[in-house]
A = this chain, B = another copy of it.
Amino acid sequence: MSIRVTIWNEYVHEKSRPEAAALYPCGIHAFLRDVLKSEEIEVTTATLEEPEQGLPDAVLENTDVLIWWGHVKHQLVADELVEKIEKRVHEGMGMIFLHSAHKSKPFCRIIGTTGNLTWGREQRCVLWNLMPTHPIAKGVPAHFELREELYSEPFFVPKPDDLIFCTWYEDGNLFRGGMTYTRGLGKIFYFHPGHEICNSYYDKNVQQVLKNAVAWCAPTRYEGFDISKCHKQTEPIL
């Protein structure tokens, strides 16, 4: 059975900044759809301007892995939608937060963080693969280079389950840029590349990481876990 991915994008820069439009003429969501879709992965896209901000219940309930790209319109995302997304993650929906989604409402709410960090100019950076044994790092070399917006420590996030990638920047900074979390039954991956005027999503290593992450975040079927009744009184089991 294929994994049902929904890619959500606020879809602003690609219509307003020429450099972004040149790279992603139909939007980052459409570009990533073409990268990810395969026999194993079925992709739907959604944007902020669509009805119900792109995520009506019928879409959310039929999503295995939700990918999130947002930047300047974080505050427009409805609190009710954030709550629904959080509920779905607790039930097992996987979630991949890209780039500036570190400061999105769903990220901060689900992870439990301000998402605060330090940022700076675009520059050369090197992503170091610290955990080659992790499924998300499969086929990814020990290090590879990108040109990206600087994201730097201190990054005020909880200790991750696994720190997979840490990124070096020309300016003397580094950033924990590829990390996993679990919340409820949902598996979550944060990955920093994807500034709207950088071409990171064209990079084959970035694409490999995203494909690996979709497979890793996909929910297991939890036999014997009755999630809809997970807060309950019990009788002696012996």
**Partner-B contacts on A (CB < 8 A):** 90, 92, 103, 109-120, 124, 126, 128-133, 135, 138-143, 145, 150, 152-154, 156, 158-159, 161-163, 166, 168-169, 171-174, 176, 181-187, 220-225, 230-238
Contact = CB atoms under 8 A, between A and B. Distances in A.
29 contacts: A112-B112, A113-B183, A114-B184, A115-B231, A116-B230, A118-B231, A118-B232, A119-B234, A124-B238, A126-B172, A126-B174, A126-B238, A130-B153, A130-B154, A131-B159, A132-B185, A139-B223, A141-B223, A142-B153, A143-B172, A152-B234, A159-B162, A163-B163, A166-B174, A168-B168, A168-B174, A171-B234, A171-B238, A173-B237
Contacts of A133: 92, 182, 185-187, 220
A237 B170 CA distance: 10
> How many copies of the polypeptide does the oligomer hold?
4
A150 B184 contact: no
A171 to B, nearest CB: 4
Contact of A112 (B110, B145, B222): B110
A132 B225 contact: yes
Contacts of A162: 159
A188 to B, nearest CB: 10
B158 A233 contact: no
A126 B115 CA distance: 23
